[in-house]
Structure 1
Amino acid sequence: MSKSLYIKKILNNNALIVADESEQEESVIIGKGIGFGKKHGDQITTDSADKWFVLKDEKEQEHYKQLLHTVDEKIIDVMNDVIMHIQKRSGSDLDEHIHIALTDHIGFAIKRLEQGLDIKNPFLVETQTMYPMEYTIAEEVVEMINKHLSVHLPEGEIGFVALHIHSAMTKRTIHLINRNSALVAKLIALVSSSLDIEIDSKSINYLRLVRHLRHAIERIEQGEMVENQDKLAKVLKEEYPLCYNLAWKLIKVMQNDLQKPVPNAEAVYLTMHLQRLSKK
């Protein structure tokens, strides 16, 4: 059933402040060209809701209004297409904060580019491995931005965009996701130095280990219990003492960084992953 909304203010060609008939509920709606040719008091219906986004949270609305004063309207215009593309490709109901966070990030990235500054992404490989679907969508997004804004964002931006996409899909903060990426990178560096090997980031065993670490961290954060594997742990400890001891070192790092207990069974799974890597 369609619902009528009334325009209270036109923020720009791509964003309006609207209210329902009672004017008790105010929202910001964002959509490509949605404000073009419109004026205060005009009526719009929710029939075309699949072509625009709604910001209902008051804090997000305020942040978005502020953003419109600092980011070029051409960027805002392209970002509407970008976020629509992310929603379609991911099939997810995205957290509305992506409109502020990703638009602000891209605006800042383009400014840095114009100033000749390049910020390196230290977790690019880990991001690609941990979030392959988000990374693929991010590649498409960066290509869209480069094409429509005639810029050339560096490869590292794909990783940053992928994290924003993952954040919006899972409704977890960028801070938390960055912390977990940094933790995985720290654990991989510890594995490399302890086993005295150079890890091939394209190898299947590396991919398996990184994805296991990602899911392990998520399980630990959520307090999920994993069934103990005492008999298998005893066998692995005797057969592969180096990998078993390293597994416990990794567990101690995770416990310290996450400030949460790690199930003992994690040592079994990590030992098996480490053994595969050490054989190479």
Structure 2
Amino acid sequence: MYEITKVINNNIVCSIDSNGKEIILRGLGIGFQKKKRDCIDKEKVEKVYRIADKEVSSKLQELLEEIPLEYVSTCTDIIDYAKQSLTRRLNDNIYITLTDHISFAIERKNQNLEYKNALLSEIKSFYPKEYEIGLNAVEIIKERLSVELSCDEAAFIALHIVNAELDTDMCNMVSITEMIQSIIEIVECYYKKELKKDTLHFDRFITHLKYFGQRVFQNKITKDDDMTFQKMVREHFVKEYECAEQIRNFVEETYHKRITEEEMIFLTVHLRRIITES
């Protein structure tokens, strides 16, 4: 049995788990004609949300109060599917951001208003796993809610998932994606060749650039005092280091962010791998 601490609506209530932590419970009619301190059977609960951050939990409660139950359950299943498909932890904030986004996307679709995703090709290329989840999400929405969303929306969903993986905000995520595309263009221009996109080293390079972008926009500085290794990389991979310098100049001039020598060395090593393969 769960004891209710707060009724959000007919289908959403709050309770306390056995560890004294606040939880949000979802189930058809579990809040109907209920009040604080009433009890509900565990069998009637369809989903338990365990949100550690109190601010996130409070915002989620506000959102769940406004959104139809079928939207909530569909979005939750999409998030659970994403968690199972990816090896990285997703920030709990995705329950707010993605649910809100999908709800709004459905409203727009019902009004014949659809947004084009300017980063569609970049998202498909840089975040293929997340984009596949986005496509799957669009199919789930079509089956459950009879609303057909476009591949542009699949890409928006993918970006929300990457955002939750990196634990950054959506504005930074868009900037990171744009920055990655610019870096790829710098590399291809410098070497006068197109990079092979369907290789393991390209995937690793993109993964590195995602976290590089996260560090840049969150002003996180990497530290590596191995001066011998840094000197060896600069001396042995001269062209790759020169390309990394062009990347550094672009990032510092465009985003006014300082790139450390440690980041330069990491970029150089990844460039060496990807150029050797291309």
TM-score interval, normalised by the smaller of the two chains: 0.7 to 0.9
- Which residue pairs with 1:33 in the alignment? 28
Counterparts of 1:118-137 in structure 2, within 5 Å, are 118-137=114-133
RMSD: 3.8
Which residue identity lines up with residue 42 of structure 1 in the other structure?
A: D
Unaligned runs of 5+ in 2: none
Aligned pair 1:100/2:96, yes or no? Answer: yes
Q: Which residue of 2 aligns with 1:234?
A: 235
2:248 alignment counterpart: 251
Q: Secondary structure at the residue paired with 2:133?
A: helix
Q: Deviation string for 1:157-198 (max 9, x for gaps)?
A: 222222322333443333332221121012123334455555
- Structure-2 change in CA distance of 1:60 and 1:273 (3 Å): same
Displacement of 1:153 in angstroms is: 1.4
Q: TM-score, normalised by structure 1?
A: 0.74
| Superposed displacement of residue 259, structure 1 | 1.5
SS in 2 for 1:9: strand
- Alignment correspondent of 2:180: 184
Q: Helix, strand or coil: the match of 2:50?
A: strand
For 2:206 and 2:46, how far apart are their aligned partners in 1? Answer: 37
Partner of 2:265: 265
Q: Deviations over 1:103-132 (max 9, x none)?
A: 110011122223333323233344344444
* Contact 1:11-1:17 within 8 A present in 2 as well: no
The answer to whether the 8 Å contact 2:7/2:14 transfers is yes
CA distance in structure 1 between the aligned counterparts of 2:163 and 2:141, rounded to whole angstroms? 20
Q: Which moved more, 1:149-158 or 1:221-230?
A: 221-230
Match of 1:175 in 2: 171
Q: What's the CA shift for 1:35?
A: 2.1
Question: Letter of the aligned partner of 1:168 in structure 2?
Answer: A
Deviates more, 1:31-40 or 1:143-152: 31-40
> What is the CA–CA distance in structure 2 between the aligned matches of 1:236 and 1:55, rounded to whole Å?
47
Structure 1 unaligned regions, length at least 5:
none
Percent identity between the aligned chains? 23
Distance between the aligned counterparts of 2:256 and 2:126, measured in 1? 18
Corresponding residue for residue 13 of structure 2: 16
2:154 aligned to 148, 158, 175, which one? 158
Supply the AA of the counterpart residue of 1:16. Answer: V
1:76 aligns with one of 72, 85, 91: 72
Contact 1:205-1:276 within 8 A present in 2 as well: no
Matched, 1:63 2:59: yes
Change (3 A) 1:50 1:72: closer
Tell me which residue corresponds to 2:141. Answer: 145
* Mapped contact 2:98–2:160 kept (Cα < 8 A): yes
Is contact 1:233-1:267 (8 Å) kept?
Answer: no
Superposition misfits of 4+ residues, deviation over 6 angstroms? 45-50
Q: Deviations over 1:57-101 (max 9, x none)?
A: 454344334434653443123223323333444466643322221
Q: What secondary structure is seen at the aligned counterpart in 2 of 1:265?
A: helix
Q: Report the CA distance between 1:267 and its aligned residue.
A: 5.6
Residue 47 to residue 253, structure 1, CA distance change in 2 (3 Å): farther
Structure 1 216/106 Cα, relative in aligned 2: closer, same or farther at 3 Å? same
